[in-house]
């Protein structure tokens, strides 16, 4: 993509840092990274790891698109909530179905296993799709060329100057 080729070293550093931060946040809280603070009653499944890693990478790249270049464009006011929605969906997708308090309160323990757990892979796909669409949207906006200002229309003949 043309937008990625125009990135500054600063944007690349932000992309890596943000990807690591998102990866650590989601991985730590959902216990994909084993830790003594959180626990998980149901072990992760194979697809949790690719969704977690890809969402983290896409999120880091998306965050880097918000880093201004040396000469900021005053008209750059594009934003997208798709990336945030993708991150939240990824959190729900890779988390333990019975450790999710919202699912547990709404469905109960057996409902979380019966109803919420089978939906999690689809949440993961939706998370990846939303984050990827947000990234492509932002990257396309980085290479858009501004239109030149319109030339003033010539005054009609006989008009007062």
Q: Which tens digits make up the pLDDT trace of 114-127? A: 888 899 999 999 99
**Radius of gyration from C-alpha coordinates of the chain:** 22
d(CA 158, CA 95): 75
What secondary structure letter does DSSP report for 159?
Answer: -
Which regions in the chain score pLDDT beneath 70? 1, 69-80, 143-147, 155, 158-161
d(CA 77, CA 138): 11
Q: What is the pLDDT of residue 78?
A: 43
pLDDT, tens digit, for every residue of 147-156? 677 777 776 7
Let me know: does 55 contact 90? Beta carbons within 8 Å.
yes
Q: What is the pLDDT of residue 147?
A: 64
Q: What is the pLDDT of residue 76?
A: 43
Q: What is the pLDDT of residue 74?
A: 45
- Give the DSSP letter string of 65-132: TTS--SS--TT-----SHHHHHHHHHHHHHS-TTT-HHHHHHHHHHHIIIIIHHHHHHHHHHHHHHHH
């Amino acid at each position: 993509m043309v937008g990625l080729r125009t990135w500054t070293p600063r944007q690349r550093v932000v992309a890596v840092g943000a990807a690591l931060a998102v990866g650590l946040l989601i991985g730590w809280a959902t216990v994909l990274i084993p830790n003594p603070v959180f626990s998980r009653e149901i072990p992760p499944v194979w697809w949790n790891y690719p969704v977690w890693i890809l969402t983290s990478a896409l999120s880091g790249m998306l965050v880097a698109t918000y880093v201004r270049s040396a000469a900021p464009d005053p008209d750059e006011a594009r934003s997208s909530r798709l990336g945030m929605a993708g991150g939240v969906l990824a959190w729900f997708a890779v988390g333990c179905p019975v450790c999710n308090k919202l699912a547990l309160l709404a469905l109960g323990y057996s409902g979380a296993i019966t109803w919420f757990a089978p939906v999690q892979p689809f949440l993961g796909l939706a998370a990846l799709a939303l984050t990827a669409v947000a990234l492509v949207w932002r990257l396309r906006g980085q290479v858009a060329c501004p239109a030149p200002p319109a030339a003033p229309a010539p005054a009609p003949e006989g008009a007062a100057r």
